[in-house]
């Protein structure tokens, strides 16, 4: 279809076409012309307090809605979001960065304009290293095609893209005919048929297969297809930690989360004893592998992602993940007898007493009962993430965390993006005291927009996870009065808790408070750690002893 729109209008039209309804950012002079266009479009502009918070909000928005956008000014804004964009790249989150830039006319004779670092290409060169596609819209004859190329590549690979928009190109108009390559055009049919035939044979001949579902099942919206495959074949399914909630953990064929020694013993044994592991959209990172305590044999795996498809050690080119998944669903796979799923060994306590001192283990026991069907659990980095592994998520795509890139400060800004992406979901944010001090005051934007996350601050008085690695005063931080944040912002409910009863009361009142955010400060011992971190420490310790018979080790804090 041929359209005659300005470059700025065309860019907004294409973003809207891909489901974008909100754009996050901080204004600056080089982007104000484009901001004016956004205000006149059906897309809502969400101003945040910091550019990195805008990037994190766009990341969470993309994880739920399929694409997120952050829009900032040149260098002082753009370079502030390199870390969130790097995280989105590492974790396959389709975030598009739009950066304003000095006008082309204003660049004549190479002047030293404000915000310039080295030269006018510096920011674009930096982002080219942390995005799957990047461009600068400096030529009206190629600008529209470049917009299509970047958005299409982001959509295909579910990684970030970068579009630089000089301020005097926003309103430039040329005629353009939009076109996209279809999935069929990207697929080598013969290679796909050979791949599916080999995969079907391997699955049908296996006696004890298992499916391991990862983050790309989320990213490509294949959750329903996964359930269909599981129920069609009766093959049990486990999720990686990045893939947690890809299927309801209450599903009768769901094993839970697999993450090597950090996960539950029965899940690790079931997955690692399988004679065929169908790995769908998994990235085998050190976190997913329980810090390399996992034991998966490549000769027993079928591995499919957006970037690679292989069976045992046989790789297939031009077999996109979605094409593979669709063909596998239609393949002649045998339906098995209903398998025996190991009964989970709960790491959490069922009914702690009100007068007990609160611990990380008891906190997650209470949270497990607190989670409702309309919540999305957002975990920041640290022991709150390890503890969240044991939470039972009843519905799909309702657990978000930067569990591979592990950059602190994700939780509160992500709650903003997640709730705007799906207003039927109420965020439950789990965040450590250190991470909250980085980005927690983005709650001011939450207040301005009338959103209502429940923020649980695990206050273990410093960087607790690092204390397990190396203790020292460098892990100490100032102790904030987190429960007083509502007084600072003029809205919200605040609680400070020391016992099980305190936490129960705070959770109950927070659940009833639908009109504003709630923040619950949970006072924890600095050396108290989650059951998952205990499991990892014990099994790593056992591995060391097994490798070195007779080795004497000191008692570890783990």
pLDDT tens, position by position, 13-39: 999 999 999 999 999 999 999 999 999
Place of tokens 């099994």: 539
pLDDT of the residue at 292: 45
Fold identical between 2-180 and 184-330?
yes
Say if CB 348 and CB 495 are below 8 A apart: no
Q: Pick the more confident residue, 203 or 258.
A: 203
As given in the structure block, the two tokens for residue 116 are 């310039």
Contacts of 477 (CB under 8 A, 6+ apart): 433, 434, 437, 461, 462, 463
Whole-angstrom Cα distance, residue 435 to residue 438?
5
How many CB atoms within 10 Å of residue 110? 9
As given in the structure block, the two tokens for residue 405 are 């890139």
Beta strands per DSSP E along 251-336: 254-257, 276-280, 301-304, 309-311, 314-316
Pick the CATH number of 184-330 from 3.40.50.1220, 3.40.50.300, 3.30.70.260, 3.40.50.150: 3.40.50.1220
Given a cut of 60, whether residue 534 has pLDDT beyond it is: yes
pLDDT of the residue at 390: 79
What is the third-level CATH fold of 2-180? Rossmann fold (3.40.50)
Best CA proximity match to 414, nearest among 369, 459, 360, 451: 451
Given a cut of 70, whether residue 306 has pLDDT beyond it is: yes
What average pLDDT does the chain have?
88
If 0-12 CB within 10 Å is exposed, 13-18 middle and 19+ buried, where does residue 182 land? Answer: exposed
Q: How confident is residue 554, by pLDDT bands cut at 50, 70 and 90?
A: very low
Given a cut of 80, whether residue 405 has pLDDT beyond it is: yes
Q: Look at residue 162 and give its three-state secondary structure.
A: strand
pLDDT tens digits along 70-109: 999 999 999 999 999 999 999 999 999 999 999 888 777 6
Q: How confident is residue 545, by pLDDT bands cut at 50, 70 and 90?
A: low
CA distance readout (Å), 474 to 382, 427, 432, 462: 16, 32, 16, 9
Mean pLDDT, residues 253-262? 81
List alpha helices for 347-499, DSSP H: 360-370, 383-388, 411-421, 433-439, 443-449, 464-469, 485-489
The alpha-carbon radius of gyration of the chain (Å, integer) is 24
Say if CB 186 and CB 318 are below 8 A apart: yes
As given in the structure block, the two tokens for residue 338 are 């209903």
Q: Pick the more confident residue, 422 or 264.
A: 422
Say if CB 93 and CB 219 are below 8 A apart: yes
Whole-angstrom Cα distance, residue 158 to residue 270?
30
Domains of the chain, by residue range, sit at 2-180, 184-330, 360-533
Given a cut of 70, whether residue 547 has pLDDT beyond it is: no
Best CA proximity match to 13, nearest among 200, 195, 154, 144: 144
**Which contacts qualify for 365-373: CB closer than 8 Å, 24 or more apart?**
366/500, 366/503, 366/504, 366/507, 367/391, 367/428, 367/430, 367/456, 367/507, 368/392, 370/428, 370/507, 370/511, 371/428, 372/426, 372/511
Given a cut of 80, whether residue 284 has pLDDT beyond it is: no
Given a cut of 90, whether residue 350 has pLDDT beyond it is: no
pLDDT of the residue at 403: 84
Whole-angstrom Cα distance, residue 433 to residue 459?
5
Mean pLDDT, residues 379-408? 83
Of the chain, the percentage scoring pLDDT greater than 70 comes to 89
pLDDT tens digits along 427-452: 999 999 999 999 999 999 999 999 99
pLDDT of the residue at 195: 95
String of DSSP letters for 475-513: G------GGGHHHHHT-SEEEEE-BHHHHHHHHHHHHH-
Whole-angstrom Cα distance, residue 211 to residue 236?
6
Given a cut of 80, whether residue 290 has pLDDT beyond it is: no
Q: How confident is residue 551, by pLDDT bands cut at 50, 70 and 90?
A: very low
Best CA proximity match to 283, nearest among 461, 159, 155: 159
Beta strands per DSSP E along 253-367: 254-257, 276-280, 301-304, 309-311, 314-316
Whole-angstrom Cα distance, residue 24 to residue 32?
14
Q: At what angle do helices 189-205 and 321-330 cross, to 10 degrees?
A: 50
Q: At what angle do helices 223-233 and 321-330 cross, to 10 degrees?
A: 30
Q: Pick the more confident residue, 370 or 1.
A: 370
Q: How confident is residue 120, by pLDDT bands cut at 50, 70 and 90?
A: confident
Whole-angstrom Cα distance, residue 502 to residue 504?
6
Mean pLDDT, residues 346-352? 66
pLDDT of the residue at 2: 62
Whole-angstrom Cα distance, residue 70 to residue 397?
22
Say if CB 432 and CB 380 are below 8 A apart: yes
pLDDT of the residue at 410: 97
What is the third-level CATH fold of 360-533? Rossmann fold (3.40.50)
């Amino acid at each position: 279809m041929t359209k005659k729109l300005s470059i700025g209008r065309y860019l907004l039209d294409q973003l809207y076409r891909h489901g974008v309804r909100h754009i996050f950012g901080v204004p600056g002079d080089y982007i104000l012309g484009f901001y004016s266009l956004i205000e006149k479009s059906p897309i809502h502009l969400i101003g945040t307090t910091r550019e990195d918070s805008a990037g994190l909000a766009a990341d969470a928005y993309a994880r739920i809605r399929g694409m997120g956008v952050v829009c900032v000014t040149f260098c002082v804004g753009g370079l502030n979001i390199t870390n969130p964009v790097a995280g989105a790249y590492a974790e396959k989150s389709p975030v598009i960065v739009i950066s304003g830039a000095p006008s082309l006319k204003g660049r004549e004779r190479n002047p030293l304009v404000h915000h310039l670092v080295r030269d006018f290409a510096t920011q674009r060169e930096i982002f080219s290293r942390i995005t799957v596609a990047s461009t600068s819209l400096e030529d009206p004859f190629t600008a529209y095609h470049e917009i299509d190329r970047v958005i299409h590549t982001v959509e295909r690979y579910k990684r970030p893209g970068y579009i630089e928009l000089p301020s005097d190109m926003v309103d430039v108009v040329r005629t353009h005919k939009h076109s996209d390559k279809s999935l069929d055009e990207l697929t080598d049919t013969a290679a796909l048929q050979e791949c599916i035939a080999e995969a079907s044979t391997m699955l049908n001949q296996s006696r004890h297969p298992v499916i391991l579902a990862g983050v790309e099942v989320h990213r490509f919206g294949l959750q329903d297809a996964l359930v269909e495959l599981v129920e069609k074949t009766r093959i049990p399914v486990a999720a990686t930690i990045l893939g947690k909630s890809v299927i309801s953990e209450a599903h009768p064929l769901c094993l839970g989360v697999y993450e090597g020694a950090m996960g539950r013993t029965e899940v690790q044994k079931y997955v690692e004893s399988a004679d065929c592991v169908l790995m769908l959209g998994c990235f085998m990172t050190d976190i997913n592998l329980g810090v390399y305590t996992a034991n998966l044999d490549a000769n027993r795996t079928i591995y499919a992602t957006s970037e690679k498809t292989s069976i045992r050690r046989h790789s297939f080119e031009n077999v996109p993940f979605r094409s593979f998944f669709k063909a596998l669903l239609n393949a002649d796979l045998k339906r098995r007898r209903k398998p025996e799923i190991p009964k989970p060994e709960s790491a959490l306590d069922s009914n702690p007493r009100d007068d007990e001192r609160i611990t990380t283990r008891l906190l997650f026991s209470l949270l497990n009962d607190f989670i409702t069907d309309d919540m999305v659990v957002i975990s920041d980095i640290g022991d709150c993430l390890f503890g969240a592994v044991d939470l039972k998520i009843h519905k799909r795509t309702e657990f978000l965390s930067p569990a591979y890139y592990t950059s602190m400060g994700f939780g509160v800004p992500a709650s903003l993006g997640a709730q705007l992406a799906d207003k039927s979901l109420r965020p439950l944010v789990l965040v450590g005291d250190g991470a909250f001090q980085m980005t927690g005051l983005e709650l001011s934007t939450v207040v301005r927009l009338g959103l209502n996350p429940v923020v649980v601050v695990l206050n273990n008085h410093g960087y607790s996870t690092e204390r397990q690695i190396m203790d020292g005063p460098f892990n100490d931080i100032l102790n904030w009065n987190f429960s007083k944040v509502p007084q600072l912002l003029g809205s919200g409910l605040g609680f400070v808790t020391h016992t099980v009863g305190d936490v129960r009361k705070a959770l109950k009142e927070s659940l009833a408070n639908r009109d504003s955010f709630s923040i619950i400060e949970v006072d924890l011992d600095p050396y108290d750690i989650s059951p998952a971190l205990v499991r990892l420490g014990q099994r790593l310790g056992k591995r060391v002893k097994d490798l070195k018979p007779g080795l004497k080790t000191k008692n570890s804090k783990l």
